[in-house]
Amino acid sequence: MKKILQDLSFAETEELILSLGEKKFRAKQLYEGLTQGKKVSDITSLPKALKEKLLEEYEDETIRIKETFYSADGTEKYLFEFADGHLVEGVLMKYKYGYTQCVSTQVGCRMGCKFCASTLNGLIRNLSAGEILAQILAVNALHKADVKSGAGESGRAVTNVVLMGSGEPLDNYDQVVKFLRNLTAPEGLCISARNVSLSTCGLVPKMYALADEGLPVNLTVSLHATDDETRKKVMPVAKAYKIEEILKACRYFFEKTGRRYYFEYTLIDGENCDETHAKALVELLKGKPCHVNLIRLNEVKERELKTVSDKNAYRFLGVLEKGGLSATLRRQIGVDIGGACGQLRADYLNGENND
């Protein structure tokens, strides 16, 4: 596999172009073409000789959408294939304010969370910054016509990004941070860091490091329990980092960025969703600058965990709201197309979607 041009910042692209003996303005042409989701060979503003030089060392096509699945609610799910043949998935969610894309940061995952399909086959490899970005560039190119109809702005359909697909973002720290810097750079897509949400299972040292990066993204922590012993049952990472340590890291993030933080709490039948758990969550988080996103479990057939009824989900939400917590119950989307992380890739690898 060759190197990937989307890994480069604009300044690095300029350095590359100059090293090839070309004029600096060619860097802008190249960067703009890549940002539009084009293959190197399809950037018509570049001379043929320059493209041939670039393709000696760099991939022509970093990513392609192998398959697309459409939900009745408008959600779209993609199976992406990289130049080396590895697969990840992504989701596009359409809202009135714009399009939100969920991207993957790793091929597979090694965190072992019991409710997630991404971790079924372990971690295969990390994605590079350019491979993460390329997922968004591909979807922008697919929906470029929507920009004219008001779905996007500044030449992009995707206006919000969530790092909640396959993989643990903070387990691929350096590449994820580079991706965030390239994503928010004015020369590229220029998406505000405030429109980016990063979800972590709670890798405490990396949470502190992220707080010091000067990137005011929305930090979301997968909590799913109110005590360490219960959390260990579904999240192996809880054996390394206690909830108390996670809360201290969240407080540090708030102090450094001024951004409130978020907790994801997946409601699992018989595990963490009765009134006692709800009251314990209130006691744990009350008074903190945070918001709780309740999630009905999206069942994974390889696991035995079961979701809760809508009635019980709203009852749990009611206890949180009565207790003074800022909380919402996440709308279920994409259920009919395997909306949960890793489901589509797992099905494809098992031969269920590649007849």
Enumerate the active-site residues.
Answer: 89, 341
Distance CA 93, CA 333 (A): 8
Tokens of 44: 């018509």
Instruction: Give which of 165, 200, 172 is closest to 77, Cα–Cα.
Output: 165
* Contact criterion met (CB below 8 Å) for 236 and 112: yes
Distance CA 354, CA 253 (A): 43
DSSP H or E segment with residue 264: strand 261-267
Q: Alpha-carbon torsion 236, 239, 241, 242, what sign?
A: positive
Amino acid at 326: S
Number of Cβ atoms within 10 Å of the Cβ of 279: 15
Burial class (CB in 10 A: 0-12, 13-18, 19+), 11: exposed
**Rg of the chain's alpha carbons, rounded to an integer?**
21
* Contact criterion met (CB below 8 Å) for 220 and 197: yes
Instruction: Give which of 311, 295, 303, 309 is closest to 342, Cα–Cα.
Output: 303
Distance CA 280, CA 272 (A): 10
List CB contacts of 205: < 8 A, sequence separation 6 or more: none
Q: What are phi and psi of 252, to 5 degrees?
A: -65, -40
**3-state secondary structure at position 121:** coil
**3-state secondary structure at position 63:** strand
Distance CA 60, CA 52 (A): 10
